[in-house]
Structure 1
């Protein structure tokens, strides 16, 4: 019995496709078995469309504050100074302001004081109330909390009520290049 030429042709096409699939499995299997030697664990995917395809991205929109010449951005609880990750910060960013030689970062339940290189100087958890925003009043750092407006002139040790209106930190949209580098650093 002789097979139809149409069946033979399609049988050949399926054979070629199956061979290509098997070759892809072999190549990727060898690569995965030699991950350390090929340093695949040190390489990260940076393609936006591929990361979007797998749903790797921020759940909430990023929040940014201009601090001096730099940008402080929080993405899903992760803090970045420009595109440098600051791992000691946890929480939601409610504000950031620049002092003479430090940066004050506010979360609802804590204040973080960083130097210009994003190194933690101090974390203050004992603050009056829940922090809603941070700012500056002359040389003092200020917070607007659920218990009122307070200022500290002694390095965040004591908080005194103030009636004067501070200059509050306002969330701004950073330049596209900064946001792109932050999101790339966030995605890994």
Structure 2
């Protein structure tokens, strides 16, 4: 290549190398930092840490819970938030369907959704799950404590009463059983922090950073922007090699 044309090409490459480098500097920093965070997401706990920023949850379409119910408050509140169950501020369960009821029984917690019955200890550790394989025929409808202090399970097939160990459920005539107070009420004064925690379980910081790194966080058009950045990186690499290879002509 003639010397004059080579100098012209070098000047052109330097100009666009500088312009595109400055224009994409911020995006390259975002890509680099998000890439580092993704590589260390597990060590930093980002794959378990929920997002608790309201506007970001709204942006992802994670709205306010639709159904909030508060059950027995003695010795601690049991709160159902859609398909989640909470013991005060402690998360207990996330089911595939809404939680229908929860009660305290002999220092244990019993909860149901339409498909299963769950038994927790006082500290909120799951002890046992019962369903159709255990002899409970869904759908389950309601759960309460009888006037005698016995757990009563209502299903579409009838009313069941449990033995003291909660191992065997027997049919009982509703007319022969006095149902006590289930202590369920529509919750109207739930701590806003608890609602944020419930929503945050649907979105982790790892997911947000992955979406930021890939460009999906800003919608479909951002994918084209990130493709452009990739091409710019390729151009910067090739133009840098070109200028290094022909540096003796930079005069």
- 1:45 corresponds, among 28, 34, 51, to 51
Structure 1: gaps spanning 5 or more residues: 1-17
Residue among 71, 80, 85 paired with 1:73 = 80
* Residue 177 of structure 2 is aligned to residue 168 of structure 1: no
Richer in helix (by share): 2
Q: Which structure ranks higher in relative contact order (CA pairs < 8 Å, sequence separation ≥ 6)?
A: 2
SS at match of 2:99: coil
Task: Give, in whole Å, the separation in 1 of the partners of 2:35 and 2:50.
Answer: 18
Which of 141, 149, 164 is matched with 1:132 structurally?
A: 141
User: How many angstroms apart in 2 are the aligned matches of 1:169 and 1:132?
Assistant: 16
Q: How many residues align?
A: 170
Shift of 1:124: 1.6
Give the secondary-structure state (helix, strand or coil) at the position aligned to 1:117: coil
Unaligned runs of 5+ in 2: 1-19, 205-251
Question: Does 2:30 align with 1:28?
Answer: yes
Which deviations, in whole Å up to 9, do the C-alpha atoms of 1:67-126 show, x marking residues without a partner? Answer: 332233243x34333343335744331111111211110122221111122112221212
CA distance in 1 between partners of 2:111 and 2:90 (Å): 15
**Superposition pairs of residues 2-13 of structure 1, within 5 angstroms:** none
- How far apart are the structure 2 equivalents of 1:63 and 1:56? 16
Question: Which whole-Å CA distance do the structure 2 matches of 1:40 and 1:158 have between them?
Answer: 42
Q: Check whether the contact 1:103–1:116 (CA below 8 A) recurs between aligned residues.
A: yes
Distance 1:186 1:142 in 2: 32
Aligned to 1:14: none
Q: Name which one, 1 or 2, has greater alpha-carbon Rg.
A: 2
- TM-score, normalization by structure 1: 0.72
**Maintained 8 Å contact 1:140/1:152:** yes
The two structures have a TM-score, normalised by structure 2, of 0.56
Structure 1 residues 135 and 27, CA gap change in structure 2 (3 angstroms): same
Structure 2 matches for 1:52-63, cutoff 5 A? Answer: 52-57=58-63, 61-63=66-68
